[in-house]
Amino acid sequence: MAGVPRLGVLWCPHWPVVVAGARPDEPVVVVHANRVVAHSLAAAAEGVTVGMRRRATQARSPHVRIEQYDPDRDARAFDQVVQAVAAEVPQLELTEPGTLTFMARGPARYFGGEASMSATIVATATRAAGSPLGAVGRFGLGVADGRFAAGLAARRAAEVGQPLVVAPGCEATATFLAPLPVRMLADVGGVPLEFVDLLHRLGLHHLGHLAALPAADVSARFGPLGAFVHRIARGGDDRLPDTHAPPAGLQVQRVFEEPVHHSDVLVFIARQLAGELVASLAAQGRVCTRLAVLAETEHGERSERLWYRSTGLNEAAMVERVRWQLDGWAQHESLTAGVILLRLDPVEVGADDGVQLGLWGGRTQADDWAMRAVARLVAIAGERQVLVPAARGGRQPHEAYDWVPAVSADLADPAERLSPVGGPWPGSLPSPSPALVHAPALPIEVVDDRGVPVAVSGRGVVSAPPATVRLGPGSAGIHEVQAWAGPWPVDERWWDSAHSRRVARFQVLTRSGALLLVGVEGGCWRLAAEYG
C-alpha cells in the first residue's frame, strides 16, 4: 500500500527489569504506584502479570525482588543502545526506554536485505546493552509495513529469539496479524482498553476475526474508531486518523547568548518551551504526537532525536524526554562546550480529544511527580521513613488516623485507605481536633490550688478543680489554668482485664492561651495533644 512506511522496531521486553539487573532465575518486578510495570521471566513463571498490585505479586512470588520504577535510569541505560543503533541507521524514533523505531527502507538497501539488516542491528544493540541483557532479556526486531505490525513483529521476534520480517504488502501483513489477539491493539496500537474489551466480549478474540467482518458493518456499529481498527487488522494504513504535519512556524527554540553547561538550566528552559508549544497547539485543538528535540553546542556538536507517543506528548512528557536526551548525550559524549541552542519541533500533531495522559489514566502531572518523588525518597531515606495517612478508627486523637509506609499503600487510589473505619466511636472528641498529637502521651503534673495532684474518682468526680499544670522542668514549665472542661471518662475494653483502659480526659486552657488535651489514667496525668 503506497504511503505506509516500512518500519523496523527494536524492542526489549521489560527493559526496566533488565536495567535493574537480575540473575537469570531471579524473579524481579518493577513497580510504579504500587502496580507492576515490568517483570522478569522467572516472575512471569510464578504468575506475575503487568498491572498486578504489589501485594498480590508478593503473594504469588514471596521471594520476588521489588524495584521502584525509575524512567530516568531506564532512559540513561537505553541511550547506549540508541547511540549504537544510530550509527547504523539514519533516522530513529524513540517512544520510551526499551523501544526504538526506524525507517527500514534505506538501511535495508545499505545492508543488502532486510534479514541481514535485522541481524546486524540486533547484534549491535545486544553488544551495546552489555551483560545484563543476556541474562534476562533479548532484543526483538520486527520489520513490517506500519508501526503496529512492526511492533507486533518485534514482540514475536523477542519471544522467538530471531528477527522477524513480515513481507511487504497488505495481504502479507493481514496474514501475519490474523492469529494475534485483539488485546494487542491496546498494548501496541494505542487503542483504548475499553474498546478492546468490548471487541473481546463480542467474541472477536483475534485480529483475523475482526478483519473478516465487512467494513461497512464495523463502521456502522463502532464508528470511526472501529473503522480505523478494522483497517489496521486488514493490514492497512495504521497511522492514527487526523495526524498530520503541523503548519510551519510552531517550533519553539531558545538561543543562548552564553553557552549553558548545566542540564538543570536546560531542563528549566525546556519546561518553558514545552509549555509554550503545548499551549499553542492546544489553542488549535491539537496535541503533539511526534517531537523533534535538537540541542546544539557552541562547537557544533548536535543531539537530535525524534520522540513519539501515540497518545500525544504533554508538557511533562516533553520535558522528561528532553531530560533523557540531554542526560544520555552528556553521558556518552564528552562535550567540549556549552549548549547554545535548544529547539522543540512538533513534526506530527494529532487531534486533542482528551486522551489519557498516562498508562493508568486520569492522573495529573502533580500525581506523577509526587509518586516519583516518593520512590526517590524511599530510596534515600528508607521504607519506614516515608509515610502516608491511613484511617484507623479510634476515639483518642492519635488513634483516628495513623501513618503507614508509603510503599505499602496505593498512592493512586487512596479512597480505601482513608475511608472511615468502624462505628460511631462514642466518646470521641468533637472537632476541632488538636493539631499536635503526642504519641506516646507525655507525663505531666496537674495540681489543684493547694498543690495536691488532682484525682478523678471511679464515678467521674473530680477531687478539686485543676489550678496549675506542670509541663516541663523549671518555672517556665508551670502554667496556670484559666479554663477547663471534663472529665470525659473512657472505659475501653472493660470486659478484657488484660487490655482494659480507663482514662478521664480534660481540656485545659492555660492563661497563656494554649489549649491542652490531658488525661489521667491510673493516677498518672499525661499530655495527649495540644491545639497548637
Partner 1 sequence: MPGAVVQRGSVVGCEGPAAVSLSLALAAGPSQQGAWVAVAGLPGLGLAAAAEAGVVLGRLVQVAAPQGSGPAGQQQGQKWGDQQWGDVLAAMIDGFDVVLLGPGTQGVKPGTARRLVARLRARGAVAITVAAPVFGADLCFRAANPRWTGLGQGHGVAQGRRVVVELTGRRVPRARRAEMWLPAADGRMCPLPDVVAPVPVDHVAGPVPLDQAG
* Minimum CB distance to partner 1, residue 192 (Å): 24
User: Which of residues 24 and 382 has its CB atom nearest to partner 1 in the complex?
Assistant: 382
In Å, how far are 108, 375, 393 from 389, measured between CA atoms? 57, 17, 12
Classified as helix, coil or strand, 521 is strand
Q: 168: which 3 cell numbers?
A: 511487504
In angstroms, what is the minimal distance from the CB of 414 to partner 1?
3
Interaxial angle between packed helices 263-283 and 315-332, expressed in degrees from 0 to 180 and rounded to the nearest 10: 150
The Cα–Cα gap between 345 and 290 comes to 9
Strands 92-94 and 302-313: parallel
Min. distance of Cβ 386 from partner 1 in angstroms? 6
In a 13 Å sphere around the CA of 188, the CA atoms on its Cβ side amount to: 27
At closest approach, how far in Å is the CB of 513 from partner 1?
Answer: 4
Report the residue number, 182 or 441, with the smaller CB distance to partner 1.
441
Looking at beta carbons only, is 200 or 262 nearer to partner 1? 262
Nearer to partner 1, 167 or 381 (CB): 381
Distances (CA, A) of 295 to 97, 161, 298, 340: 20, 36, 10, 8
C-alpha cell at 249: 512556524
**Cα separation, 40 vs 21, whole angstroms:** 10
Quote the least distance from Cβ 394 to partner 1, whole Å: 10
Nearer to partner 1, 338 or 389 (CB): 389
Nearer to partner 1, 33 or 211 (CB): 33
202/436 with CB nearer partner 1: 436
Q: What is the residue whose three cell numbers read 518493577?
A: 30
Shortest separation between residue 57's beta carbon and partner 1, angstroms: 23
| In the complex, minimum distance from the CB of residue 424 to partner 1, in angstroms, rounded to a whole number | 15
Task: Give min distance, CB of 343 to partner 1, in A.
Answer: 22
The C-alpha atoms of residue 95 and residue 74 are separated, in whole angstroms, by: 12
Least distance to partner 1 from the beta carbon of 391, Å?
A: 8
How far, in Å, are 4, 231, 356, 395, 457 from residue 351 at the CA level? 20, 19, 13, 53, 75
Instruction: Give the residue with the Cβ less far from partner 1, 113 or 465.
Output: 465
Shortest gap between Cβ of 401 and partner 1 (angstroms)? 4
Q: Which of 18, 143, 157, 30 is nearest to 80 (CA)?
A: 18
| Interacting residues toward partner 1 by CB under 8 A | 264, 268, 364, 366-367, 369-370, 372-374, 376-377, 380-382, 384-389, 397, 400-403, 406, 414-415, 417-418, 429-439, 462, 465, 483-486, 507, 509, 512-515, 529, 531-532
CB 357 to partner 1: min, Å: 13
Task: Please check whether residue 394 is in contact with residue 439, taking contact to mean a CB–CB distance below 8 angstroms.
Answer: no
Cα 339 from Cα 296, distance rounded (Å):
6
- Beta bridge mates, 102: 8, 92
Using a 10 angstrom Cβ sphere, with 0-12 exposed, 13-18 middle and 19 or more buried, the burial of residue 299 is: exposed
Nearer to partner 1, 236 or 434 (CB): 434
Closest to partner 1 by CB, 340 vs 454, is 454
| Inter-CA distances, 393 with 405, 423, 441, 518, Å | 18, 8, 18, 20
Residue 137 or residue 487: which is nearer to partner 1 going by CB?
487
Q: What is the dihedral of CA 222, 228, 231, 232, to 10 degrees?
A: -120
